[in-house]
Chain A
Amino acid sequence: MQELGLIFRALLRNKVGALLISLQIALTLTIMVNAIFMMQQRSEQMLRPSGLDEANIFYLSNTVFAQDYNQQVYLEDDLALLRQTDGVVDAIQINAIPMSGGGWSMGLQTEAGEGKDSTGVAVYMVDDHAINTMGLELLAGENFSQTDIEWRASSQNNWPAKTIITKAMALALFPDDWQSALGQTAYINQAEPMQITGIVKSLQAPWNGWSGVERSMLVPYKMETTGGRFMIRTEAGRRDELMPIIEKALSESNKGRIIRRVTTMDDTRERSYRAHNAVNKILTSVIAVLTLITGFGIVGLAMFSINRRTKQIGTRRALGATRGQIISFFMIENLMISSFGVLLGVGGAIGLNIWLVSTFSMAPITPGLIIMGVIVLYLVGQVAVLYPARKAAKISPAIATRTA
């Protein structure tokens, strides 16, 4: 630290190289901090619970092609077969799968009529076995009873009298007190009343990028459809064993349909967040490459500076500098260059984040992340300069007496 002022003043007279490295550090910090922030946000999204017992759930498609297929009868047969299979906890017919990317949405409103505020909600048409099959946690109210379940013909447009909604949906409809939603009437299709008879803790919508992903509703329907799905929950650890057994059993029980796309919820989650994962990997690579380039830049500048100043270093040694003082000379010089870069970088990181927040409605960056980025870049700088600095310290003081 003895040469602090001297190093600073010498740097001011050799600005170009140092300035370029400072700008590189600033750019790296700007991109690094925002990239890590975006990765963090994606990781948080990927870690959100869907509300389902994902590890033990799979689903399959039931595609009907036979002309004389009695859907109402065969649905009951299928559900009975599934529920009676050894190792199956429960099973339902369902119109959409959480996180799958495809499903139904409607608007619910607390007042009937056109022009009233409505809140978007994902619709799951299920029977009274849904809570048990999905592994949902009922926070308030009660499950559907068998008598609540209606048969929904393919041409039917009206809605049943009851619904179970998620806590997030309850909060959206009744922001002051989500529990007050229980027993209230909400209106679907602007005017059709549905009584909220239950509130579950969470159940994600099929669309993971939707801002209302936590807003879902269960509707007590069994559906007439040629392309329905069954969701099956197994006892812990038996999912993979039961998947082919159930596929075979269903296929053989009725030849008027095809059973296909037997898929686990784990696979669905992985597919759903594949793009997030890919982006995170790309961002990680970008950060790593940028950091490496910055590190190499610092090594390069330091090596160039040492080669240019070999005699000067020898002279300093002749004048009494120890090897440690030569090392600390370069470390401090790098600290100064890094500090300028970091200062610019913090401004850049905040500026870029403000732009991202205003353009893409992202959350503002946390100060902790900026501090972490600053520490990382200081460390990169110090580690990068260590090798050249040690090389400089090995320069013999006798070089000072050489005339060339």
Chain B
Amino acid sequence: MLTMNNISKVFQTDEVQTHALRDFHLKVNEGDFISVTGPSGSGKTTFLNIAGLLENFTSGTFMLDDIDISKLNDRDRSKTRNEKIGFIFQSFNLIPDLNLYDNVDVPLRYQGLNAKERKKRIVHHLEMVGLGSRMKHLPSQLSGGQQQRVAIARALATNPRFLLADEPTGNLDTQMAKSVMTLLEEINQQGTTIIMVTHDDDLANRATRKIQIKDGRVSELDVVRDNAEVNATEQAIA
């Protein structure tokens, strides 16, 4: 579903060229739960931005569901983001002036869905993350963990092909992080592909595939584990 070949990203200033990604290869399959780790400045966020069509790459090939991303204009990239990708951000990125219902509604409106369909999806996904009774609350009235759950509901409401999670537990305490992680695992088990950037090795180990980025390259390729191994890791963490 997602293939990156020889992707490079160079940030150019007047005097300095910075290679954020170089010869980056990755193939993501349907149903994967991939964790992406690496030290600060290794290129994790750049990878995430390119995978999420938030940023252009300098060279290489990036295919998403047989679409050559390099050929898309800004409008088509927006449309593709809206239809195929769900985002979960470290700081949740909820819109503070809108209640939970409206926050989940934002990407659905960009899809041009009718009010009835939108309502059905919003209610379903907010109930799924356990916040069905708080739809009229503002984000500021929720805990960090609850806000991240709203962000997950928002990301899932558009029925994306995959979720991109950027340090989804980075701003949460251990208990809340665990609960958000469990939710992501449930979502993955229901068939949604997830790519998660994290600093936390314990969380990374719960993914079904793990890659490490160093100096803009995949330094440790696809440690693929089966579900039994994942369950064993979970028990060890617990």
CA distance A5 to B98 in the complex (A): 10
CA distance A2 to B112 in the complex (A): 7
Check if A316 is an interface residue, CB within 8 A of chain B.
yes
Q: Specify which chain B residues have a CB less than 8 angstroms from the CB of A398 in the assembled complex.
A: 49, 54-55
Check if B82 is an interface residue, CB within 8 A of chain A.
yes
B48 in complex: contacting residue of A13, A312, A320, A401, CB < 8 Å:
A401
A319 pairs with B98, CB closer than 8 A: no
Check if A14 is an interface residue, CB within 8 A of chain B.
yes
Q: Specify which chain B residues have a CB less than 8 angstroms from the CB of A6 in the assembled complex.
A: 98, 102, 105-106, 109
A397 pairs with B75, CB closer than 8 A: no
A325 in complex: contacting residue of B95, B98, B110, CB < 8 Å:
B110
Check if B225 is an interface residue, CB within 8 A of chain A.
no
A320 pairs with B78, CB closer than 8 A: yes
B74 pairs with A323, CB closer than 8 A: yes
A311 pairs with B55, CB closer than 8 A: no
Q: Specify which chain A residues have a CB less than 8 angstroms from the CB of B158 in the assembled complex.
A: 320
Give the tally of cross-chain contacts (CB within 8 A). 92
B110 pairs with A321, CB closer than 8 A: yes
B81 pairs with A320, CB closer than 8 A: yes
Check if A3 is an interface residue, CB within 8 A of chain B.
yes
B82 in complex: contacting residue of A13, A311, A320, CB < 8 Å:
A320
B110 in complex: contacting residue of A13, A312, A320, CB < 8 Å:
A320
Q: Which of B24-32, B64-72, B83-91 contacts its partner?
A: B83-91
Given contacts A10-B98, A14-B97, A312-B95, contact A319 B107 (CB under 8 A): yes
Check if B154 is an interface residue, CB within 8 A of chain A.
yes
Q: What's the minimum C-beta distance from A402 to chain B, rounded to whole angstroms?
A: 8
B49 to chain A: closest residue by CB: A398
B77 to chain A: closest residue by CB: A397
A3 to chain B: closest residue by CB: B109
Check if B137 is an interface residue, CB within 8 A of chain A.
no
Q: Describe A's contact surface by its main secondary structure.
A: helix
B91 pairs with A10, CB closer than 8 A: no
CA distance A363 to B55 in the complex (A): 62
User: Contact residue range for chain A?
Assistant: 20 to 34
Q: Specify which chain B residues have a CB less than 8 angstroms from the CB of A222 in the assembled complex.
A: none
CA distance A311 to B89 in the complex (A): 12
CA distance A396 to B52 in the complex (A): 13
B95 pairs with A315, CB closer than 8 A: yes
A318 in complex: contacting residue of B74, B87, B91, B102, CB < 8 Å:
B87
A396 pairs with B90, CB closer than 8 A: no
B75 pairs with A322, CB closer than 8 A: yes
Check if A48 is an interface residue, CB within 8 A of chain B.
no
Q: Interface 1/0s, chain B 37-61, versus A by CB < 8 A?
A: 0000000010011001111000000
- Interface residues in A136-168 by Cβ distance below 8 A to B read none
Q: Specify which chain B residues have a CB less than 8 angstroms from the CB of A320 in the assembled complex.
A: 78-79, 81-83, 107, 110-111, 158
7 of the cross-chain contacts (CB-CB < 8 Å) are A317-B78, A319-B81, A319-B107, A322-B78, A324-B75, A396-B55, A400-B93
Which B residues are closer than 8 A to A by beta carbons? 45, 48-49, 52-55, 74-75, 78-79, 81-83, 87, 89-91, 93, 95-99, 102, 105-107, 109-112, 138, 154, 158, 166, 170
A-B pairs, 3 with minimum CB distance? A320-B82, A10-B97, A319-B107
